[in-house]
Structure 1
Amino acid sequence: MKETIRKLARQMKAGRKSPGRTTRSVIVLKHKKGYDDCIRHLKAAGIRPVKAVRRCRLIGCEAPRGVDWKALKRHPSVAYIEKDRLVKAHGRAVRSGQTGGAPIKAECRIDPAKIPWNIARIEAPPVWKRTKGQCAKLAVVDTGIGPNPDLTVAGGVNTIDGGSFKDDNGHGTHVAGIAAATGRKRIYGAAPRVRLYAVKALDQFGVGFVSDIAEGIDWCVKNRMDVINMSFGLAGESRVLREAVARARRKGILMTASAGNDGPNNARIDAPARYPGVLGIAATTKGNRVASFSSRGKGIALAAPGVNILSTAPGRGYVRMSGTSMSSPHAAGGAALLRSLAPAKHAACIARKLVAAAKPLPGGRRAVGAGLLQVAPAAAALRSKQARRARAGGGVRAKRIRP
């Protein structure tokens, strides 16, 4: 096998037309055997590996234009090669600037004044009497999470360069606050005590490579996250991203993703929101209407507030943003509450409860899915099912997760 890889590297090097600009691609191998040898000989061919995710048999590469990728695709060790596409965040700032807040005061009780309209709208607060999400782990795959008095980050990873997972854009911190703000200073998120993790896979401009996203999802699988929020999208197709999502699904992780901000013009919503096992979330206004910018198409499961949403910013401030990016973490936080209530339930069961409990909205399924996210009714339905099983003497058992 080593000799064939060496021969292939020589062929690719010989077949290069001109140095030119570099392109970035993802090589996925059929087997882990020969992984290191493949990397060494790619380097020898002038192809620079920039990402190596052994568990996924994935190698992200930069190469000069003109490299003969077709020769590599024909190699028996290679499953497939695709362009390392860029994804982009689905949030945008509102005109109002950053705001400060009062000094922190230690509190044990819920202050109703700190519950934003959007968190009340999805009926998350009634569930807090039983759980605030403390038994669940929620990962935000985004631009990172910055320090804020209303956020407690349990850990994280930077899949771009291995450095800090702190936010250098603001998008990820805002998303994290919607899902998990603690209420210590100014606002509550949907699940105020969920164990929050930052997966920095988008850069300071809110864009990132699919290979970085795939590594981030793999990190979530390895570290046994319960819920993953993905407030970004890709208009095209990516087998790498689809397979990363499928691996997380098989491990019982519930995933939420923003539908996109392309309005009613496009025929479909973005990936990964349209992939199996992911709850695609549309955006609604304060008047419970679908937002004008919210993408339409097959794959939308639910809708949640996404216009003029106040949430956390890096530092001590708070900002308002709009986008389906803001809608998705409402569902992620709600899913974390249900997971905390019933840790033995797998993702598909929790997702079904959330969809079944949704409040119907005008616009149709291609615009708002089943309707407005309603966490309290979903939690009540989940607890009712548990009670029926307990009365029947069967207890609560974990179900096998379908691949």
Structure 2
Amino acid sequence: MDASRSDVLVLGGGVIGLACALYLLKAGVSVRLLEQGTPGSGSSHGNCGTITPSHAAPLAMPGMISVAMRSMLRADAPLYLNPRVDLDRARWMLGFARRCNWRDFHHAAAARSAILQRSRRLMGSLIEQEGLHCEFVERGELYVYRTRKLLHADERHHAAVLDKLGVEVRRLHGDQIAGMEPALKPGIVGGLYHPDDAQLRPDRYVAELARRVRELGGVIESGARIDQFGTQEGRISHVRTTRGVFYGDRVIMALGAWSPLMGRELGLRLPMQPGKGYSLTYSRPARVPRHALVLREAAVCVTTWGSGFRLGSTMEFSGYDEGLNQIRLNALRRAAAESLHEPVGPDLQEEWWGWRPMSMDEIPIIGPSTRWSNLSLATAHGMLGISMSAATGELVAAQLTGATHEIDPMPYAPARFGL
């Protein structure tokens, strides 16, 4: 047998590629995963690790474009649009702007909620059955507010949307928040508690997924940067990399923010942009939050694990700009200092940035390509790759093996963009 051939080639070793590989292996399919770096070294590594059915609502809604335009004047804004000229980003922004209406908002929320809720139902059993040691805790997530204006706005939109989607959200007063979270400073006027949310340590989760993929017989080729696709009669015949040439009967593109760049090599124009996020990881302070928190005015997430403490979030649209932006990192520190008695831990362990794969309609792109007969896509999960990973892996494996779908695949189909 040709050692370079597998039933399926998975392109990308982030959380989505690893989840697809794991579910395919469990279905009896041979898998080889090609990763240009090491598994989980991209945006899977440094995010806040929350698993959030609560994040069904997309960013695109009436009024969001004016917020984005104003953010060009503030480099520390939670949503920042770099003012430089970028034609690809401009096209993406126009498509995003067209979706800033209530009809598209509710369509995206329903599609995101379906895969988020399915993934949340799968995560606990997946982690337990596969023995994934990743500090998984089912404790919910708490949005906290220091201004009534934003609290009331989120009650009208965020909470009301979750009510309609069947996702539990509890409205809390400031004194209730103080009792739940003594790590918070006074001045919290209220909160929204999402009891079905959970958390884990994302770098450990992806490392454990990679371990199980190998244990089940999957092959992971690290340092395999894709150089060229071979095509023949509407199929991808092989993938040439820095580690050699590999063959698969089926190919899954799970390249995250790199998907549009690689897609061009196949004549695919994926409507995606990298949304840059940042995080700071510390050793644990003495006084830590009991729940994952979102400090809403600053849109900063706070996650505590037994092994550490992380501040993260922010969304920066600056194309494929690399490197840390200390203005953005300082905004995380400042937000934590405004709300937490101990905003940082004794030791700073990591300053991190990563590109989130943001689709124009904020719905992931999952399913068979209409252009290439043996290509499937599993990308564009935005800020929700961890949260959507299990359901994405399950859906892709079901589509490739002919098993029953647990969720309707149509909202995620690449065909909606002619892909």
Interval of TM-score (by shorter of Structure 1 and Structure 2): under 0.3
Relative to the length of structure 2, the TM-score reads: 0.24
Relative to the length of structure 1, the TM-score reads: 0.25
Higher percent of residues as helix: 2
Higher percent of residues as strand: 2
Higher RCO by CA contacts (8 Å cutoff, separation 6 or greater): 2
Higher Cα radius of gyration: 1
